[in-house]
Amino acid sequence: MAKTSPLVLDAMIVTGNTKAAVKAAGGGSSDLWTVPPDQIHYDPRDNVRPLDQDRVRHLAELMKANGYDRKKPLGCFVRKVGGEDRIFVYEGQHRYHAALLAILEGMPVDKMIDRLPIVIDEAKSVNRVNLIYAGITNNDGEKLTPLQLAEKVIELQELGESNAAICKRLNITEQTIRDVLLLANAPAALHKLVRDKVVSSTLAIDEIRTHGGDKALERLQSAAAQAKAGGKAKVTKKALAKPHTVKSLDPQAKQLLQALQSVLHDPVFGKLSPGTIAGVHAALTPHADLLDAVSTTRSKHPIHKPNEHGVYTDCETLKAPLFKRTNKHPVEIDLAQVDLGKWIFSTSYAIGTAAGSGPCKLRGADTTYPTRGQAIRAAVQSLRKQLDQWNTRNAKEMPGVHAWLEQLWTAPDPDWTGEMAAEVAK
């Protein structure tokens, strides 16, 4: 029989001298502070995750039984309030509130919490952007839900962070940002289904991408009611109503769908009223699975004519969604085809205290684009640069504008051809 070495399961731990060990290791003094709990302040806006009272209760009971684990300090920073320097917690909010609750309800003398260990960030590194990034990455063990992530992505965008910077610092993709923003812009009732865990975030995003926010809500609410009637708490993908198939389209329905698509692809579609535009999208989005089966052949874009000053006033206009507070479109893009396969654009915006506009005018052959889609993408690039300034970055209109520009940027270009791609590749 081969010899084996017995496991030592009860080896005694012989403790040593802390200061001597740190000195021998070449260590230095610690930045760990200890502060009375009632001298630490809290602002929910400094924390990326909403406070979960059930978790606070659970941790409070653990602290009553075991005391506070000093190996888990709170992350804090110092904020000036009314001329006073005050310590605010931004990482470990549940442990902080649990300690207060345990103290309030009474703790054993040997477990009493007189001071809480904290680490204070350097003042030069403290700003709202860094607090958000730290809050998200420090919660990586318990990941934020897509809806919680969306709320923070929008806040970062409002603070002037680019999507590229957000992707890099959070190690996420542009697609993740697009997905969570789809969810963020969905109806509040759909958010509630996600928060109540009736519908998973992934399923909600899939439904919104396929059917649009309002139709997705209708489908998910119907499925939730059916699930509840059947004694189930959650909606699964299988429970959702299956979309129509091409075979179910009678000739009249197919003809109507083709007509509606023609309206959608009409070059002056952007000039229709917002309600009409929304109605066309709402009618077509639930039938996205049928669109490939219906002809999408586009009529030729018209050649626009300039006025006596060379300005193309009778052109196509794309408008960002209405901003409810001002009841205005914060951004507009004018598009004109000055000759066959030669497009130009101009932009205008009125956001916060900033405004800018320019005429839709031909300024030379080198400023034209071969397709409408390429002109739109160039306009998006131009607007992103124009709006990256101090008096627009934090404006309330910007989240909606960012989402609209992203939709334009990622939209397919039906007029782009293989020959054009080959020409560009030369």
Average of per-residue pLDDT across 57-80? 86
Cα radius of gyration (the chain)? 29
Confidence of residue 423 (pLDDT cuts 50, 70, 90): low
Quickly tell me which residue has 């009678």 as its tokens. 250
Beta-carbon contacts of 162 under 8 Å, excluding residues fewer than 6 positions away, are 388
Is residue 341 predicted with pLDDT exceeding 70? yes
What is the Cα–Cα distance from 178 to 337, expressed in whole angstroms?
Answer: 30
Q: How confident is the model at residue 365 (pLDDT cuts 50, 70, 90)?
A: low
How large is the average pLDDT for residues 263-286? 62
State which H helix or E strand residue 74 sits in.
strand 74-81
Q: Is the pLDDT of residue 169 over 90?
A: no
pLDDT digits (tens, 9 = 90+) for 371-380: 898 899 999 9
Q: Which of 80-84, 242-246, 384-388 has the lowest mean pLDDT?
A: 242-246
pLDDT digits (tens, 9 = 90+) for 146-162: 888 888 788 888 888 88
Over the stretch 212-221, which tens digit does the pLDDT of each residue have? 888 888 888 8
274 sits in which H/E element = helix 274-284
Q: How many CB atoms sit inside 10 A of residue 384's CB?
A: 16
Q: Decide if pLDDT at 420 tops 90.
A: no
The pLDDT score that the predictor gives to residue 337 is: 92
10 Å CB burial of residue 92 (0-12, 13-18, 19+) is buried
Average pLDDT over residues 198-203: 86
pLDDT over threshold 80, residue 122 = no
Is pLDDT above 50 for 34?
yes
Query: Can you tell me the distance from the alpha carbon of 303 to that of 289, in angstroms, rounded to the nearest whole number?
Result: 33
Average pLDDT, integer, range 118-129: 78
pLDDT exceeding 90 applies to what percent of the chain?
10
Q: Under DSSP, is residue 335 helix (H, G, I), strand (E, B) or coil?
A: strand
pLDDT of 222 above 50: yes
pTM score: 0.39
61 membership: H or E segment, kind and range: helix 53-66
CA atoms of 333 and 379, how far apart (whole Å): 7
SS3 at position 252: helix
For the cut 60, the answer to whether the pLDDT of residue 49 exceeds it is yes
Look at residue 128 in the predicted model and tell me its pLDDT. Answer: 77
Rounded Cα–Cα distance for residues 313 and 336 (Å): 9
- Residue 15, pLDDT above cutoff 70: no
Contact between 244 and 257 (Cβ < 8 Å): no
> Virtual CA dihedral for 358, 363, 367, 372, nearest 10 degrees?
60
Nearest Cα residue to 102 out of 146, 50, 66: 66
Tell how far CA 251 is from the center of its chain.
41
DSSP letters spanning 19-31: HHHHHHTT-----
283-330 pLDDT, tens digit per residue, is 766 665 555 444 444 446 889 999 988 899 889 999 998 888 888 899
pLDDT score at 319: 92
pLDDT tens by residue, 318-336 = 999 888 888 889 999 999 9
Question: Average pLDDT, stretch 385-413?
Answer: 85
Alpha-carbon gap, residue 190 to 188, rounded angstroms: 5
Query: Percent of the chain, pLDDT > 70?
Result: 74
Tell me: pLDDT of 29 over 90. Answer: no
pLDDT category at 98 given cuts 50, 70, 90 is very high
